[in-house]
Amino acid sequence: MEAITRGFFLFLSKNSTLNKIAQKRGGSFAAGKIIGGTNFQSSIHFIRELNKQGLSVTVDHLGEFVDSVEVANERTEECIQTIEMISKENLDSQVSVKMTSLGLDIDRNLVVENMTRILDTAEKHHIMVTIDMEDVPRCQATIDLFKQFREKYTCVSTVLQAYLYRTEQDLKDLSSLKPFLRLVKGAYKEPADVAFPDKKDVDENYKKLIEQSLFNGNYTAIATHDDAMINYTKELVKKHNIPNDQFEFQMLYGMRTKTQLELVKEGYKFRVYVPYGMDWYGYFMRRLAERPANISFAFKGMVKS
């Protein structure tokens, strides 16, 4: 049943007709519930409210697989402006960005040029920029770009996905860079020859990655809504005396807000992933595909007053 549910929402995420309808009619409905707003300016209010509750934030301008140089350059300018506004408004926020939104599918030199401009701005303002991981065909290119940028910049991090067989080796390869890593289970539909098809295997690999990353001394973000993974991390850090300033928990905006605040009260660093922009529909469908329990969390959030 879980596989069927996952496939259904991944199918919906690629429906261009529904995406266009969502862009035209759904932005105001989703704002403040599952996205911050349709642009960064309209998201600032919600970020401030999260910060007041002790929650840190990372923001992401939704939209990927850009095939236009003009659009890639526009996304770059928007990201630079966002970083500058975060600094100006003194927000406790980082930035997440997909390499395909900056031109990865167009030209490698283009994405390097655009990301260099972003990271120059991030270093100036001491704001972390996370390179989001995408689907398998773009995985190696994303890791190669991270390695290249990490040689020059400190304010850059990336994401590893537990459902891929390759990730354990990727983590070993990256650990010499002492990276800031966000660990996730993974949201794309991948074939069984590159990804674990069974949830239990993904869960076991996720635990292995959490342990390996923390034992290597990496700053590690455990991005999950799964209580079992959260409790596993709590027990692991307690058993091995790993300080709370070496890791953080992350969840999506609008989902499990009570749990987020409870973890903050327990003394854990917590960061909320706050997307914004008009292209929210595909993002939302993939989040529902990740874990069936997200469906109830999301719809409770969307109907709250």
Residue 182 appears among annotated catalytic residues = yes
Write the single-letter amino acid at 120. D
* CB atoms near residue 226 (< 10 Å): 16
Phi-psi map region of 65: left, alpha, beta (phi>0 left; psi -120 to 50 alpha): left
Chain centre distance of CA 149 = 18
Find the catalytic residue in 6, 138, 150, 182: 182
The span from the CA of 142 to the CA of 159, in Å, is 9
Give the residue from 226, 287, 229 showing the smallest Cα distance to 301.
Answer: 287
Find the catalytic residue in 6, 75, 105, 132: 132
Cα separations in angstroms, 298 against 19, 66, 203: 18, 27, 22
The span from the CA of 98 to the CA of 134, in Å, is 7
The span from the CA of 271 to the CA of 58, in Å, is 7
Q: Which residues are catalytic?
A: 132, 182
